[in-house]
Structure 1
Amino acid sequence: MKKLFIGNLPETAKDKDVIELFSQFGKVRSIKLVVDVFSGKCKGFGFIEMEGHEARAAIEGLNGRDFGGKMIKVNFEEPKNKRGRR
């Protein structure tokens, strides 16, 4: 199972819409879109889990693709200790 980061999502993004988009590459095992607690709108990113070969296909097929008027970023989630500090 691989966890994918999805960035640059529109604030109107909903779980069902993202699942539908990624399902063309395989089964989405879990999804977590980060939402604002006050407005309930998507903060522009989230995470999904898929099997390894399906996740790689989703990255290849969806990274840089238009979704809701924005070019989404899709890649493998990097462990916290591997990310650069700001």
Structure 2
Amino acid sequence: MLKKLYVGNLPFDATADELRELFSAHGRVMSATICTDRETGASRGFAFVEMVEGAEEAIQALNQARLGNRSLTVNEAKPREDRPSGAGRDRYARTN
């Protein structure tokens, strides 16, 4: 069964390949995606790793582990909460 893990407090220069390598020591990794800012493309300091097996082992081994000069936060990803569409957009709407 596929499990999605949240990886927080990433160094801003971390790569998806580094994450795949780090997590593959604990099981089979399907994907590793570093979240980036839409406008700048810069890392936002967190990622998601999807694992077919070994997710629990990875959480136990890598939560609070050091990567670069930072201590990682690793746990099972929570489902994304629905946000109201268009929230805050009315402020910028033109009135003609």
TM-score (norm 2): 0.75
Aligned residues with identical type, % of pairs: 39
Name the structure where helix makes up a greater proportion of residues.
Answer: 1
Give the counterpart letter for 1:71 in structure 2. S
Opposite residue 50 of structure 1, the aligned amino acid is: M
Q: RMSD value over aligned CA atoms?
A: 1.4
Name the aligned partner's letter for residue 68 of structure 2: G
* Gapped regions of structure 1 (runs ≥ 5): 82-86
Query: Which is higher, the Rg of structure 1 or of structure 2?
Result: 2
Pair 1:6 & 2:32 matched: no
The match for 2:26 is 25
Q: What per-residue deviation string (whole Å, max 9, x for no partner) do you get for residues 27-71 of structure 1?
A: 11012111234543321101011025x000000000000001100
Is the contact between residue 11 and residue 43 of structure 1 (CA under 8 Å) also seen in structure 2?
A: yes
- Contact map agreement 1:12 1:41 (CA 8 A) in 2: no
The corresponding residue for 1:50 is 51
SS at match of 2:58: helix
Cα distance in structure 1, aligned partners of 2:52 and 2:3: 6
Aligned pairs, number: 80
TM-score (normalizing by structure 1): 0.84
**Could you say which structure has the greater relative contact order, defined with CA pairs below 8 angstroms and 6 or more residues apart?**
1
Q: Which residues of structure 2 form unaligned runs of 5+? A: 82-96
Give the AA of the match of 2:4: K
